[in-house]
Chain A
Amino acid sequence: MDTPKIEIALTVNGVRHDIAVAPWETLLDVLRERLHLTGSKKGCDQGQCGACTVLVDGERINSCLALVVSRDGAAITTVEGLAEGGELHPLQAAFIEHDAFQCGYCTPGQLCSGVALLHEGRVHTREDIRELMSGNLCRCGAYTNIADAIETVLDRQNAGREAAE
């Protein structure tokens, strides 16, 4: 088909990219194949596994189901953008501390999803963590340790907040 490519702008991990895309290109494919940010994984490519989870304007979505052209102008954070100045994000550190992965394939999606969950502020119980992380599957079954890692960071966040009050 002779549809001309469409010029869009994406800010990915703080860096602006002006690129021409076809209507059928997904955000995941553009991140991986065009911008060479291969941290975001293509697991099912159907919105069922969560391995492709990234933050778009601060909200977690499945990048495999997003036509990139419809996200023109968005600010994207991928797993590559979570650490700051060589310092791991607290959730990344907690994943290591709690051994929250085995093969690691789902980990970038788990991390992006978990970071969003920490910002959303809707977790009150352990069950909330499991429910609100249910969009990220782990074939190795590291769920317990993933929930532990998230709980640890949440507890530290809450302790920090209480100390500040």
Chain B
Amino acid sequence: MIRFDYVRANSVAEAVTALSSPGTRALAGGTNLVDLMKYDVMKPRRVVDINRLPLKDISERESGGLRIGALVTNTALAWDARVAKRYPLLASAILAGASPQLRNAATTGGNLLQRTRCYYFYDTSTPCNKREPGSGCSAIGGLNRIHAILGASNSCIAVHPSDMCVALAALDAEVEVVGPQGVRTIPFPEFHRLPGDDPQQDNTMQADELITAVILPPANFGRNHTYLKVRDRLSYAFALVSVAAALEMRDGIVRDARVALGGVAHKPWRDNEAEDLLNGERPDETTFRAFAERLMRDAKGQGHNDFKIELARRTILRALMQAAAGTPQNQSDKVIR
């Protein structure tokens, strides 16, 4: 591993000050940063250890939602009684990802900041615009079975690897960040970004900002939700395609549909216009098929990942059937019903 300096922050203000020094990275659980540092993919001159900061609480908001501190571990979040009861979609998505060991160390803020698992991003002997801007994209025309089918650019076809973030996108979460100018709140769709010509930028945070919390608004879809993840093996693998679906139903009619996709783009994918196709409709296969078709309208394969387009259509349909029936995917018993 590279050599670097270490500083421990005792307050959020101290952490923000430390981050304003170029080449400094925040260290929380370390499950991705340390991994990338071992590969020389990320080479911070200094890490600021934020693990002592008071960001480990899940608290009630007056408006009815929850505020999740950035250092709440994935395990603590997934098994929290309030989350399990009110946001089971989020708990399910978290438990679909990684392993118990990783979830015990990985944090809420860190999960949002995960880097892509594109093989070329990890392989420092190959060009990669995300790692070395301007060097080229090896995945375009290379091995691209796991890559994006939506929102990619000529610079980058990487996908965001998180499961948790797919649920947060469906839940209309917000991200609270603190920087030298104070606190600001970023709506989830604006937090991660598409690669465009700047794939080195995964998100819209500034280098001297720190995530302090994720905010969850109240959710009203009862049991009509699911997190359905399709991958190469049954557990402990990144999604080829995943779908977070939540349907607010009244009198047998869909009143508010939220559908977010993972494994298909540089960010969790949502299409509000397509979702409007579901609102006011009966939750049947014909409606869901038309919706899946619409969501994939602009999908583009890269060769090896062409299969993802049809896989995504089918996963969307199946997820919406599960959500409509109120039978969420079980994350231990992997049979997809």
Contact of A66 among B34, B234, B333 (CB under 8 A): B34
B104:A1 contact, CB within 8 angstroms: no
Check A127/B104 contact, CB under 8 A, given A70-B27, A134-B235, A135-B236: no
Check A131/B235 contact, CB under 8 A, given A62-B31, A67-B27: yes
B333:A24 contact, CB within 8 angstroms: no
CA distance A150 to B102 in the complex (A): 20
CA distance A131 to B333 in the complex (A): 8
**Chain B residues positioned under 8 Å from A134 (CB to CB):** 99, 234-236
| Contacts of B276-309 to chain A: CB distance below 8 A | none
Contact of A59 among B104, B236, B333 (CB under 8 A): B104
B235:A66 contact, CB within 8 angstroms: no
Q: Which of A44-52, A75-83, A98-106, A156-164 contacts B (4 or more CB under 8 A)?
A: A44-52
Q: Which of B1-9, B62-70, B151-159, B250-258 contacts A (4 or more CB under 8 A)?
A: B1-9
Instruction: Indicate with 1 or 0, residue by residue over B1-34, a CB within 8 angstroms of chain A CB atoms.
Output: 1111110000000000000000000010011001
Contact of B99 among A59, A66, A67, A135 (CB under 8 A): A135
| Contacts of A117-137 to chain B: CB distance below 8 A | 117, 120, 122, 125, 127-128, 130-132, 134-136
Contact of A125 among B1, B5, B100, B332 (CB under 8 A): B332
**Chain A residues positioned under 8 Å from B101 (CB to CB):** 47, 50, 53, 60-62, 113, 135
**Chain A residues positioned under 8 Å from B82 (CB to CB):** none
**Chain B residues positioned under 8 Å from A66 (CB to CB):** 30, 34, 105
Any A CB within 8 A of the CB of B79:
yes
The residue on B at minimum CB distance from A63 is B101
The residue on A at minimum CB distance from B95 is A131
Instruction: Indicate with 1 or 0, residue by residue over B140-154, a CB within 8 angstroms of chain A CB atoms.
Output: 000000000000000
Task: Determine which residue in B3, B30, B330 has the highest number of CB atoms from chain A within 10 A of its CB, and name it.
Answer: B30
Instruction: Indicate with 1 or 0, residue by residue over B299-337, a CB within 8 angstroms of chain A CB atoms.
Output: 000000000000000000000000000000011111000
A113:B235 contact, CB within 8 angstroms: no
Any A CB within 8 A of the CB of B201:
no
**Chain A residues positioned under 8 Å from B85 (CB to CB):** none
Question: By the criterion of a CB under 8 Å from any partner CB, how many residues of chain A are at the interface?
Answer: 35
CA distance A58 to B101 in the complex (A): 12
A1:B3 contact, CB within 8 angstroms: yes
Any B CB within 8 A of the CB of A35:
no
Any B CB within 8 A of the CB of A116:
yes
B6:A65 contact, CB within 8 angstroms: no
| A-B pairs with beta carbons under 8 A, tally | 95
Nearest CB in chain A: distance from B115 CB, A: 13
A23:B30 contact, CB within 8 angstroms: no
The residue on B at minimum CB distance from A122 is B79
Any A CB within 8 A of the CB of B35:
yes
CA distance A45 to B39 in the complex (A): 11
A70:B35 contact, CB within 8 angstroms: no
Main SS at interface, chain A: mixed
Any B CB within 8 A of the CB of A92:
no
**Chain A residues positioned under 8 Å from B47 (CB to CB):** 23, 67
A1:B35 contact, CB within 8 angstroms: no
CA distance A6 to B99 in the complex (A): 31
B100:A70 contact, CB within 8 angstroms: no
CA distance A1 to B35 in the complex (A): 21
Check A3/B333 contact, CB under 8 A, given A66-B105, A116-B100, A134-B236: no
Check A24/B2 contact, CB under 8 A, given A70-B30, A113-B101: yes
For the A-B complex with A23-B47, A26-B34, A116-B100 known, give 19 more contacts whose Cβ atoms are closer than 8 Å: A6-B6, A24-B37, A46-B38, A50-B99, A50-B101, A59-B104, A61-B104, A62-B102, A65-B34, A65-B105, A66-B30, A66-B34, A66-B105, A117-B100, A127-B333, A127-B334, A131-B235, A135-B101, A135-B102
Complex A-B: 29 CB contacts under 8 Å: A1-B4, A3-B3, A3-B4, A6-B6, A22-B3, A23-B3, A24-B2, A50-B99, A50-B101, A59-B104, A60-B100, A65-B35, A66-B34, A67-B6, A67-B27, A67-B34, A69-B6, A69-B49, A70-B27, A117-B100, A120-B100, A122-B79, A125-B333, A127-B332, A127-B334, A128-B332, A134-B235, A135-B99, A135-B100
A contact set with B: CB distance below 8 Å: 1, 3, 6, 22-24, 26, 45-47, 50, 53, 59-62, 65-67, 69-70, 113, 116-117, 120, 122, 125, 127-128, 130-132, 134-136
4 cross-chain pairs, A with B, having the tightest CB-CB distances, nearest first: A135-B99, A23-B6, A134-B235, A1-B3
